[in-house]
Structure 1
Amino acid sequence: MLVDIALDAVGSDKAPEPEIKGAILACRELPVRIHLVGPSSELRDLLDEHLENEELPIVIHHASERIGMEEKAAQAYRSKKDSSMRVGLRLVHDRKCAGFVTAGNTGAAMATAKGVLGALPGVDRPALATPMPSSTGNPCVLLDVGANVDCKAHNLEQFAVMGEMYARSVLKIAHPRVGLLSIGEEETKGNDLTREAFPLLKALPIKFIGNVEGRDIFSGLADVIVCDGFVGNVALKTSEGVGRFVRDVLRESLTRTVTAKVGALLSRQAFNDFRRRLDYREYGGAQLLGVRGVCVIGHGSSNDRAIFNGIRVAYEFAHAGTNERIEQEFMRRPNRKPGQGEDDASDATIH
């Protein structure tokens, strides 16, 4: 049986070309039906051009508006009633699709998802979670990586629960190790937010290993690392920059020093493996945890491979029932303290 996935066809910087190609790749390799959302005539012409009479499970839903990268999240959500994001997320809300993928404006995607789908009971703010490569070969889930600039301690507590469930459901880790990102391992290290969050995470029924430092994101020490969206986004973008730097330096060094054909072939194979482990496009974007539906948000610079992997992540989340499990987890938790649940993160996003 095919799983229906809605795709914002006009979200990326070079849309809709990467979205069309990514949708075609996904339909060829995954048991999915793709619902392209955007200006129907433009999408139909480009789709016909790339398909060349090939029959694939791809349908088009018309949306007359698109949200630009520089637009304010809450304003775009309120004013653009027929945006590709809103139409696509409505398909998820109406259960016509099992998930939604976009490479558009992150803040607008979060605000629209929260407005159209609603937050899970017990979740004050959704969080963006993304897998990060580690030296062990197993990814580490980092969240929040950009949905919430400012957080309170109970937000980090909720992120820990959602991230732990992500690791169990999607990464198939039986007992994920959860760490709190700080500037030192000691419980007393950090700022007011991390010091206040530490005892909350420690009291959770999870395998909390305490504070971890930035270098531990890649060491394999933790399976889940929790932080606020400002810190997480800086860590994510810094990691991507370092990855590109190392990749470029390594390529230059290999080109200059390797001369023998056999050595060149082996070095090229090793380099390609290294590049894939660092390439964000292979991880398919960040999952927005805490909303009532699957929503994957990718880079604006996504190419067709990144779009394909975003669809793959949405399919895996829907297939695993991760959102439903997170909701059940929160339903089993004790009542929250007074004052929680009053946050409004519509404008507290990183674009």
Structure 2
Amino acid sequence: MLTTSLYASLILALGASAQSVADKIAALRLAPTSTDRIMLLNDSEFVFDFLHPASGRTTGAAGHTVEASSANFPAVVGNGMAMTIGFLGPCGINTPHTHPRATEFNFVVNGTLQAGLLVENGARFVLNELSPGQAAIFPRGAIHFEFNNGCEDALFVAAFNNEDPGVQQVAQRFFGLPPDIVNIALGDIGVEQVAGLEAKASALAPHHLIPDNIAFGADECLQRCGIKRTDQPTSQRQPRVSGNALPSGFNGPPAVSSSPATATISLPSLSPVPVATGSGAIANVQGDASIASSDGKPDALSLGLLVAVCVLAAGYLIIAAVWFVRCRRERNARTKGGVYFRTGADFAPRGLEKPQRFESYGGSYRRGTPYDAPEGGAP
């Protein structure tokens, strides 16, 4: 209770302006209760706009998807779910992929989708045609796809039972392995053939063949709908490092930085639930929680917080000192006196059959102990 109260007081005192999504998510994960998480979010941050997303959009030649997860929608933190909306153009396919941390429940809003899945070695292939109003389950980790085999746009809504479901496009990740390993897996078709399927356009590979999601589907559909297959973007390919480099003459995506991503944990923007004052006014706490001003020097808010922490620390030290002195005085009081005296006229010396009496002990705290009579009987 004390921790929760201190945390709530701290976030109220340090209301922040707009911070990065990563910082806000870090603060939400540190919040001890759901109530504290709500305090860290503005009302508008509980709403995600799939039609005009600030982030989470993946675009290919035949459509796009928009994801709302803990990566870009802090409100889902602690709620165990995420969502993706798929906008598939005519003949568009959400290429085979997996979700390593979530099961997907995919609902078709309009259009007709072919949906297929494979769960593991030895399992049979599952294929369904989904009409508007129908939904299909894709188990966690299953390879699956959704294909719009019609000439009209299709829309689906995919719900996940994890706030960070993850996504792994099968073709891009498989061909992102070392070329010789892929070559072996494909029956020794040749390393250069493998590189030619994946590599960036070059003299040896004029067209790279693994398009971004959402991609154009079957030629039959394209011809039926009067769509010409054009060059498709390939930005989702696996970056190349020394361990999975392509053969000489082939180009791959540049390697990503080897430095791990870091996030500065600070309190994000805060707009607590309005609190009515005696006059009926609404009090809102907002501010800036940055630790330093633009010139690198601590700002007034940071200094104020530092002073408050120091005062609290001093108070705890004083309490500890008072407790120590009190304990020492009580211990000294117990050792005062020490005079033994008989407790009754019917006292019997040690060794007799009659039960022994008890003696009293003088001091601040009276207590009884077995009485040991002096040699020769009672004094």
TM-score (norm. length: structure 1): 0.27
- Structure number with the higher strand fraction is 2
Greater relative contact order: 1 or 2 (C-alpha under 8 angstroms, separation 6 or more)? 1
TM-score (norm. length: structure 2): 0.26
Larger radius of gyration between Structure 1 and Structure 2: 2
- Structure number with the higher helix fraction is 1
